[in-house]
Amino acid sequence: MKKIHNSIIVVFFLAALFACTDELSNPPIGLLTAEQVVSDPTVTTIESSVKSSYEPLKNTLNGIIDGWRWDLGTIFRNDIVLQDIASNDMNKKWNPDGDQPWMDKIADFSFTAENPAFNGIWVYDYEGISRVNLALSFLTNDELIQKTGLSQERRNQLLAETYFLRAYYYFDLVNNFGDVPLVFKTPASFEEAQAASVRSTADEVKAQINTDLSASIAAVTSGKYPDGSEPWRVSKGAILALQAKVALFNKDWSTVLSIISELDGLGYYSLNANYFDSFDAAKEFTEDEVIFVYDHRSGETPRVGNGLGAPTDWGFFAPTDDFLAAFEANDPRLLYTIDVPNKRSNKILGSTTDYKGNDDGPGNKVYIRYADVLLWKAEALIETEDLSGAITIINQIRARARTSPTADGSAIPPETLADRPGSSDKSQVMDWLMSERRVELGFESQRFNDLKRWGTAKSVLTGLGRNFQDHNYLFPIPQRDIDKSGGTITQNPGY
């Protein structure tokens, strides 16, 4: 195996390969060198390489870069900015101010390619890909695996996890940026890095995503939790769900329905009786709805807690009036999502009472849950003209919401969230689906991608006074990386 520059098992691909930038001045804590893995391989070192591949999914403050770099957009993983703020569900703060004005520019679409939001998500996703590629280089090395004594069953599960994670990071990149570089190994030299700095087409990236997910599903261990002692690990359910989501974004409706049928056949997932159980830190991995999360935990070194509890206490993450108005009267989901009087983002915090101001909270980041999957199925049914089937699912989601106990203990009037009636109007049923997704999945970093894939982003956002233009269906490639590549990475049109 070739030596890795600085012997660090993790490097920030493209975000820092072309210069000795300050974000690489301090290596990540607790990571092993490639030389250690190769010269003295153990099961622990292989396991560590895979576990580190999850870390760019966390919302820990300074999760992968030390130094409090708001200017790089890397304080936390900023899906919340690029999805919830960009979609006009969320304001930067409860009280407008000049703090972090780059977030305001995302909200009103006055941003440029220098905006830290784009650098932040690019760095996090390519950091994840870099870690995955190194883990895969170990897991696919028969000689090294033989030295460790890692069982074939465990090796397969770890392969399933790493292929899934690479697919997930690329899925995020292609949705945000379109054409992006495809990288399958950590560059060992400046020349290799430069050669890799060419954007592959979105179709090529999507093909690779499907290839990785196929490899993942072929290797995964059976069971709702492949490892009961670490239930956060990628499962067969998570792989199938991501396959269905990829098909959804590709408008491959029959595949969406087929994969969700297979997912349902596992018998692992259903709607929780209480809407908030999916987010409640006290019920993690004991409920029935969550399919894939990042497992935040308090009190660990290095930290893996949910750092978003601190920004919520600094006044960040407030709802827009338009978002609040999207909820029907007495919908319990509103208070579980955002407690306006107390300025609490309950769903983000993982509690209706605790963790505000706690930068090391235990509330998990939920990436995929079964309610989301059901609404994908409803959408596919609409597109395949099964309107009654879609309405049944929409009403299932509404019924769970209205029968959930309220966060404040108040009684829910009997007319709350009445069932949608039968309809043969496809446009009407699609409107119901769109409305239900917004309130069911509010503040879960789904909304902007929904608006884009429905082709409604321009009409919705300009109707709300946002300066959304056609080219904003893709974000700009971070200017830092275009500059570092010497121009081999090109910019998206319009920026």
> Which residues contact residue 464 at a Cβ distance below 8 angstroms, ignoring those fewer than 6 apart?
88, 322
Q: Which of 289, 163, 165, 268 is nearest to 223 (CA)?
A: 268
Has residue 23 got a pLDDT over 80? no
152-177 helix and 43-51 helix, angle to the nearest 10 degrees: 20
pTM of the complete model: 0.94
Amino acid at 337: T
CA 466 to chain centre: 24
Q: Is residue 227 part of a domain?
A: no
pLDDT tens digit sequence for 35-68: 556 667 899 999 999 999 999 999 999 999 888 9
Q: Of 174, 192, 221, which marks where a domain is finished?
A: 221
Q: Is residue 226 part of a domain?
A: no
Q: Is residue 491 part of a domain?
A: no
- Cα distance between residue 233 and residue 224, in whole Å: 10
Q: Of 182, 197, 221, which marks where a domain is finished?
A: 221
% of the chain exceeding 90 in pLDDT: 88
Q: Across residues 384-409, what is the average pLDDT?
A: 98
The parent domain of residue 395 ranges over 235-443
26/112 same-domain check: yes
Report the pLDDT value the prediction gives residue 16, as an integer from 0 to 100: 39
The more confident residue out of 256 and 185 is 256
Task: Establish whether the linkage from the previous residue to 302 is cis, with ω within 30° of 0.
Answer: yes
For the record, the structure tokens of 152 come out as: 């074939």
111/3 same-domain check: yes
386/434 same-domain check: yes
Q: Looking at the 3D structure of the chain, how many domains does it have?
A: 2
Contact status, residue 160 vs residue 216, Cβ threshold 8 Å = yes
For the record, the structure tokens of 93 come out as: 């703060």
pLDDT interval class at 32 (50, 70, 90):
low
Contact status, residue 181 vs residue 199, Cβ threshold 8 Å = yes
Has residue 15 got a pLDDT over 60? no
- Cα distance between residue 404 and residue 409, in whole Å: 10
SS3 track for 271-324 = CCCCHHHHCCHHHCCCCCCEEEEECCECCCCCCECECCHHHHHCCEEEECHHHH
214/328 same-domain check: no
- Scored b (16 or more CB within 10 A) or e, 252-262 reads ebebbbebbee
202/319 same-domain check: no
Establish how many alpha carbons lie within 13 A of residue 427's alpha carbon, considering only the half-sphere containing its beta carbon. Answer: 0
318/196 same-domain check: no
Q: Is residue 61 part of a domain?
A: yes
Strand 316-319 and strand 90-93: the pairing is: antiparallel
Has residue 5 got a pLDDT over 90? no
pLDDT tens digit sequence for 340-377: 999 999 999 999 999 999 999 999 999 999 999 999 99
Report the pLDDT value the prediction gives residue 39, as an integer from 0 to 100: 64
Backbone angles phi, psi at 407, to 5 degrees: -65, -30
Please enumerate, as own/partner, the contacts of 62-71 that have beta carbons within 8 Å and a separation of 24 or more: 62/307, 63/307, 64/28, 64/123, 64/124, 64/127, 65/23, 65/123, 66/26, 67/22, 67/23, 67/25, 67/26, 69/23, 70/100, 70/116, 71/116
347/394 same-domain check: yes
Q: Is residue 229 part of a domain?
A: no
149/196 same-domain check: yes
- Cα distance between residue 22 and residue 194, in whole Å: 20
> Which residues contact residue 393 at a Cβ distance below 8 angstroms, ignoring those fewer than 6 apart?
374, 375, 377, 378, 381
Has residue 249 got a pLDDT over 50? yes
Report the pLDDT value the prediction gives residue 20, as an integer from 0 to 100: 31
172/297 same-domain check: no
211/240 same-domain check: no
For the record, the structure tokens of 368 come out as: 């995929």
Report the pLDDT value the prediction gives residue 36, as an integer from 0 to 100: 58
244/188 same-domain check: no
Q: Of 167, 197, 221, which marks where a domain is finished?
A: 221
Q: Is 185 exposed, middle or buried (0-12, 13-18, 19+ CB in 10 A)?
A: middle
Q: Is residue 458 part of a domain?
A: no
Question: What's the chain's length in residues?
Answer: 495
CA 280 to chain centre: 18
pLDDT tens digit sequence for 257-311: 999 999 999 999 999 999 999 999 999 999 999 999 999 999 999 999 999 999 9
CATH code of residue 140: 1.25.40.390
pLDDT interval class at 455 (50, 70, 90):
very high
Report the pLDDT value the prediction gives residue 38, as an integer from 0 to 100: 60
pLDDT tens digit sequence for 147-170: 999 999 999 999 999 999 999 999
Average model confidence (pLDDT) across the chain: 92
- The least confident of 30-34, 370-374, 481-485 is 30-34
Alpha carbon distance, N-terminus to C-terminus of the chain: 40
For the record, the structure tokens of 68 come out as: 């409090």
338/387 same-domain check: yes
Q: Which of 281, 345, 338, 334 is nearest to 308 (CA)?
A: 345
Q: Is residue 489 part of a domain?
A: no
Q: Across residues 236-251, what is the average pLDDT?
A: 98
Q: Is residue 369 part of a domain?
A: yes
DSSP letter for 339, please: B
Has residue 85 got a pLDDT over 70? yes
